[in-house]
Structure 1
């Protein structure tokens, strides 16, 4: 009984002991468990908070570096675009302004810009700060070797002002400076990933002081090169302090345009520092529990150890799975896809959340109704494809189809499905990825259409097109004419070009292929072949299609060559005709003006002889008729020259307003006679000095203003206005308008007025006479100067003639000196000048070189009236001999003469050492401006065109006498 009681007691004790031990173990376990989990929760919270802090800080730092670098790039680009390329004078206001701007660039971007080099067209200037913070400026020769080639630099160019700058940058200093603004706390490091290398940013760290575990480095390197930001945990060793830390690592990649470096900011935080505060708070608790833990540890040591190992393994696997899911989500986001799962009955059981972003459906809706979002044909095709794959035990399938989004749009999608089977090869379900490939699909369709269009174009070209490799083997062809080939077309693919083309082309092909392959430039070959139909000429162009293929285009140009030959012959014939026309015009000018010179000259002399009133009237009729005939001759010759294409622009600088007023002053007498109210206006914008053809502008204004005065009745109104518009800095478009209150023109005759020899009234009884060439000449001259003549008119009301011409503004504020070569005299010089026996006051020794008898008679009589006994030479050769034998103060030289013309004679006289300075005045019927310029360029001092006026001769002699007296030259 006792034994039974003792046994029961022992059993009870044993059970109680086991119960207490068990209860104590449970209590201790619960306490430790709660303490441990509370500690872990706080630690995890601290770590997560630090993760968020580091993620935000590293992103802000990377964006700050990128933003600051972009600001520097924009400022330097603005700087180069606003540099004046014409700054040449050292110490000038512009040069000092440039240095001040350069200092401001350094002040704003000193932490990145080390040196600035400004490259002008003729020199280079560099600026930098030395170690003592002095601003240093250095001039370099343009041809010197660039000293920045071995440094990290950026070139900023400007194609408009031909100025470029080179910015030598200190990237390490810049990034160190920017990242220094971010405080991470104790036991943290700031690192920089640059082109595969991790570099320490702190002053005490270098690129060799930081080392990462190879696996950790590989993971970081892979994410950065793909452009992904990331966070990691791993061990980092700092060589400088010899410490190793289990660290939280965050990186954020960035780019510094235009640099091509692969860069990322890396922030590191020692994990131990994060949890150290939590450990201190729980040290007392752990001290109390340590005794209890010793007892439990002895019992559960093995269990705990195994659990710890299992927990570590589970933690690592969990991290790997989390990272795998993170990367998977990133890939899905980048590829615009979502994952789905189907069971053995092919019912959709699960779909990833990306379906909302891709298609717009929520997950529940898509799981229930996804079949409705296929087109019927696509779903049936997909169903057949999957059934066939299951029957054939295929592991995967791929298929493209159209998917309808929630907004009603249809997109192109691609699915990749992995078919799952059990051990018995029974179908268990599907894991699939659906990807939005709509943009790619549209691009591919456009590429197909583009290829089809290109193929259609190539098939429609008249050329024989061959595509071949660099060895000449034919890969494809588009042939319209089989005449060139020696083999049937269906057999040429795979053959060499030399095998299917005539043998005579082989050497040309070899040389052409070598040139195209070595230079990459287009080569054109031309060759002849003999066919049954006769000799044929072909032109072949060869050029690169890509890095592996060439393309040749051959065309039968036999007809074109024959046409070109005919065209060449026609052009030569036309040039001969033009040359003949030019010579005819020159001869006509000379032959007509020469007798007119004698006629009008004699009339001028007769007007100074005693005449009765009737004789004076007769002479005036003859003089006016001669002047009218001269005007008609000028119009005909000018228009003939324009039609022959011999008229060109002679650009000069002149005062625009002064020139217009000069034209208006010509008509003062007629305006006063008809009591016309003339008004003129110049827009405020109009520049004072311009560059254009002054003579042609004057001729246009003379014709149009003269017409306005002619057709405006007595007491009428004429308004001349000049406006303008500046463009491209120094260019100007001048708009002229001449409005009159004349008889007007009917609409049906306005356009015909621009035709030569046409007038509004062509009847024999017309009131207003003329050649009808004024408007035709004016329109041609306006077109030559880049404008167009416009006419607005109303019968009985008046007309407005307007035109625009292009010119260049001349910025020099000094008065423009006349660039003309004709002899102009002021009105006060002509008025009241008595030329009878002027030789008494202005003695001169004069030589006249003239071959025309009429002009000789006129000049002799004129010189006799002037009081001069002149020497005469009847051709240029005699004129040169006369100058060699005698001394003359002035020479009047005709141009067209036998044996030696006036230009040749002038050139010979200018070669005479002692007589080379004698003034020579051209006296010729060649009145074209080009003739006058040619005469001056050869050595003439002036030029008088026939018919000349007596006063012009007299004033020319007077002018040279005055210059001789002052010791100057004309």
Structure 2
């Protein structure tokens, strides 16, 4: 068994040895990995702290430089806008000045301590006390002002005013740096000319505790205007230890101060990662625990390494993106970077020079000075030398430079100058930017402003410009006699002060609306000036964000003209009204006797007469109807002129109506032996909807003229066609051609004018008013068409016109379809009282019309009552059983309209009332309906119309009785 034992022991030992070796390897591996991990972690933390400090110190420096620059610009603007008479005029100027001073204090409270302002005769200072009250103190003379160091002094020699400013740098620096946190082991310092000011640090900083080499390097970088970061040792007096610290600085300028400033942040990193060492000591004593968690630690290490790599990749990408954007920015701004040594030799230039100027890099490096005009080059070199003498850090200028194609462009040069630690100039880096478009735009803007100023100076308007508070700041006035005061008097004053009451309130209200809404306001007012009363129209609108402009124009003459025009229009309207009233009265006075005349003629036609009596009666009837047509033409034209003619479309059988209308002329055509023909095209519909009466009136006028002017044996033709348009709409075309006497060419233009005839001599053979075509043309235009005509003297004429209507088919449910009296069941109206009994009242004051109505009622077989005025008509209607009243409109004591209205109130709808009047205007018909009348007949009245109304009334009463 022994031989077998030793190998076994040896094998076991080997196993233990292997385990020990493996254990030792694992321990060393763990220690190595832990140490490496700790260093990587510490490096990551250090890098992170570096990035944070660099970002914070740069933000703080830029914020200080920006805030101080804003202060300096505000103070420059303040001193340049001071007026020496601020405290010598009204109190408004001094109040406005003090408000501006307070506004500046509020804007820069963290840095301003006291402002001293010197005027020629006044001296004041402004400051905040401990209770934060804004105080002002005045001095009798400049010598009375306290002698204390002023950080900035600004003056305006032209106005003899000056400002001295005392600044509180401690508060300023503390306010800015208070926004940045470094922890208990950090220092926030302000570098000033080699000295370090400790700002808001919990530890007391002593620069002697920093190693001299680091301090020297910091001084050198700050003097050259370069930001930097450093690692050094700091002897801590609190702990008697040397602390390892990170130092970051960012230089900044406080214009116009010439001191060298920089923000310096110091951060202790001595104990960075110290807690990890303690953890490793514990790990040495807990190797088993470490081995259990080694995989986890390795995993976390790999994860953190990967995360660090991702951050690194991201930062690299950001840097690449930054460079890419810089390149794009240069390309977009049409610029390039260049580098020069202390002798002015061009050392390097960016690739963008090719795109900007067209030169290759080598060409530009050698010959760039030859591309600048000698005069501009001399000026710039002088500027550079002067800047180097006073150790300026930046230089900028603009001049023209020649491109490769021979053209010149305007460029802007910005150069950063570098100096060594001894202050010797070592070279510069510059950016050259193409500003040719901007330069040309600015030049054009100046020209445009000059043109605008010339235009404003030449305008007759009174032009004033104000700020947004309503203070006068500029003016353009040609005639000062149009003002209450000279324009210079208003400058610096408010609208409310200059303009008298109550106009100033109106102006300020309009001014406020303009400022708030941006919309133009228009005001009209009158002023009593030295030259007399004038009326002005003023327009107020925004000139830009900070200014408002007013333009006032004298409209006195225009107002006088408008007043005259209104008076003329009023006189014209009164004349038209008088004319309409005259025509209405004329119509009534003529139609009233015509009613009796033509009515009695109608009755005579139904009596037994011999041949000669019939001939005489026919002649009288024709003459009366001709006179009636003349009156109708005059009234129609008067309606058209007054705009009272309207279209009343109804649906009717178009072809039937055309044939009825043509039948009117059958006797004349036969008498003159004329050849008359008419035809329809296949597209003409059976039923149409339009104003039938107006269409037939036009057709009668035009065909009547053709018959009148066509000699015996001549020819006349009528062609009707149509064209369907949208949906049911249709255009109807009419063409009337004749072989008449024709019309001279020089008379064609006046043919459709009213009261104009081709032959207007006293021996003319064709009678008429000269209104037919004028009325026809207006009626055609009302119906949406137009009238045209062609004619040749001795050959004939062609009249064409069109109207717009609506087409209907037989099967359609036609609205507004005409009910034709001629299509009614024929009945014998003589002695119709037997079939249609009624109780009738006739209200009429004209004797002739009463006789006619009496004779008519006798033939119809009716007894009737008579009322000779409206009062009698109302009384008779109340006291008697009346079915139907024929009511004249114009009667003494009470007219027919008032009488009808009174009867309707007292009797309701029991009585049918029919108006009889010689007034033919549409408004008369509407008044009758509004008064309660059921129908309206225009004199002269036709017997057939009276008979129809009686029949209709009797049938209505019979129907009511059956229902009851």
Task: Please tell me the TM-score bracket, short chain as reference.
Answer: 0.5 to 0.7
Report if aligned partners of 1:733, 1:804 keep a CA contact under 8 Å in 2: no
Is the aligned partner of 1:922 residue 2:915? yes
Aligned with 2:657: secondary structure? helix
Q: Contact 1:660–1:698 at 8 Å: present in 2 too?
A: no
Q: Kindly tell me: are residues 761 and 345 of structure 1, through their superposed partners in 2, closer, same or farther at Cα, counting changes over 3 Å?
A: farther
Could you say which residue in structure 2 is the equivalent of 1:418?
415
Aligned to 2:751, the other structure's residue is in SS state helix
When Rg is computed on C-alpha atoms for both structures, the one with the higher figure is 2
Q: Distance in 1 between matches of 2:471 and 2:415?
A: 44
1:501 Cα deviation from its structure 2 partner = 4.0
Equivalence map 1:282-301=2 (5 Å): none
Q: CA deviation at 1:632?
A: 0.6
Query: Could you tell me which residue of structure 2 aligns to residue 535 of structure 1?
Result: 533
Distance 1:447 1:732 in 2: 59
Counterpart Cα distance in 2 of 1:845 and 1:403: 114
- 2:837 alignment partner, SS class: coil
Matched pairs, number: 639
Report the CA distance shift for 1:386/1:402 in structure 2 as closer, same or farther (over 3 A). closer
Cα distance change on mapping 1:514 and 1:368 into 2, 3 Å: closer
1:946 to 1:436, Cα distance in 2 relative to 1, 3 A: same
The corresponding residue for 2:644 is 648
Going from structure 1 to structure 2, the CA distance change for 1:403 and 1:694 (only over 3 Å counts) comes to farther
Give me the whole-angstrom Cα distance separating, in 1, the residues matched to 2:716 and 2:749: 25
Once residues 720 and 872 of structure 2 are traced to their aligned partners in structure 1, the CA distance between those partners, rounded to angstroms, is: 52
- 1:354-396, Cα deviation, whole Å (9 max, x unpaired): 566667x58479859998998xxx8456434433333333743
8 A contact 1:484–1:502 mirrored in 2 = no
What RMSD in Å do the two structures reach over aligned CA positions? 4.4
In the TM superposition, 1:522-921 aligns within 5 A as: 523-643=521-641, 646-648=642-644, 650=646, 652-655=648-651, 658=653, 662=657, 665-670=660-665, 673=670, 674-681=674-681, 696=694, 699-708=697-706, 710-711=708-709, 714-723=714-723, 726=726, 734=731, 736-743=733-740, 744-782=742-780, 789-795=787-793, 798-802=796-800, 815-818=813-816, 825-829=820-824, 833-913=827-907, 915-921=908-914
Question: Quick one: structure 1 residues 563 and 861, their matched pair in 2 at CA, closer, same or farther if it must change by over 3 Å?
Answer: same
Q: How many angstroms does 1:741 deviate by? A: 3.7
What is the Cα deviation at residue 510 of structure 1? 4.2
- Measure how far apart 1:782 and its partner are: 4.8
Deviations 1:531-561 (A, max 9, x none): 3333344444444445543333333344444
Question: How many Å separate the matches in 2 of 1:372 and 1:716?
Answer: 99
User: Match of 1:934?
Assistant: 927
Cα distance change on mapping 1:570 and 1:808 into 2, 3 Å: farther
Question: Which aligned pairs between 1:91-240 and structure 2 lie closer than 5 A?
Answer: none
Task: Provide the secondary structure at the position in 2 that maps to 1:552.
Answer: strand
Preserved CA contact (<8 Å) 1:652 1:819: no
Report the more deviating stretch, 606-615 or 661-670. 661-670
Aligned 8 A contact 1:420 1:429 in 2 = yes
Deviation at 1:622, TM superposition (A): 1.0
SS in 1 for 2:466: strand
Q: CA deviation at 1:962?
A: 2.9
Change (3 A) 1:441 1:937: farther
Q: 1:351 to 1:940 in 2, by over 3 A?
A: farther
TM-score (norm 2): 0.58
Map 1:447-466 to 2 at 5 A: 451=449, 454-466=452-464
Taking a change above 3 Å as real, the CA distance of residues 455 and 903 of structure 1, as seen in their structure-2 partners, is: farther
Q: Return the offset for 1:763.
A: 3.7
Q: Is the 8 A contact 2:646 2:782 kept in 1?
A: no
Q: How does 1:309-328 map to 2 (within 5 A)?
A: 322-328=320-326
Give 3-state SS (helix, strand or coil) of 1:834's partner.
Answer: coil
- 2:11 aligns to what? none
C-alpha spacing 1:588/1:965, structure 2 compared with 1 (3 Å):
same
> Structure 1-normalised TM-score?
0.57
Conservation of the 8 A alpha-carbon contact between 2:462 and 2:551: yes
Aligned counterparts, 1:124-523, within 5 A: 322-339=320-337, 352=350, 354=352, 361=358, 363=360, 367=364, 379-380=373-374, 382-393=376-387, 395-399=394-398, 401=400, 414-418=411-415, 423=420, 431-435=430-434, 438=437, 451=449, 454-502=452-500, 505-514=503-512, 516-517=514-515, 523=521
- Counterpart-to-counterpart distance in 2, 1:687 and 1:371: 95
Deviation at 1:495, TM superposition (A): 2.5
Cα offset, 1:633, TM superposition: 0.8
Q: How far off is 1:715 after superposition? A: 3.6
Return 5+ residue gaps in structure 1 as ranges. Answer: 1-310
**Cα drift, residue 503 of structure 1:** 6.0
**Per the alignment, in what secondary structure is the counterpart of residue 665 of structure 2?**
helix
Question: Which segments of 5 or more consecutive residues in structure 2 lack a partner in the other structure?
Answer: 1-308, 389-393
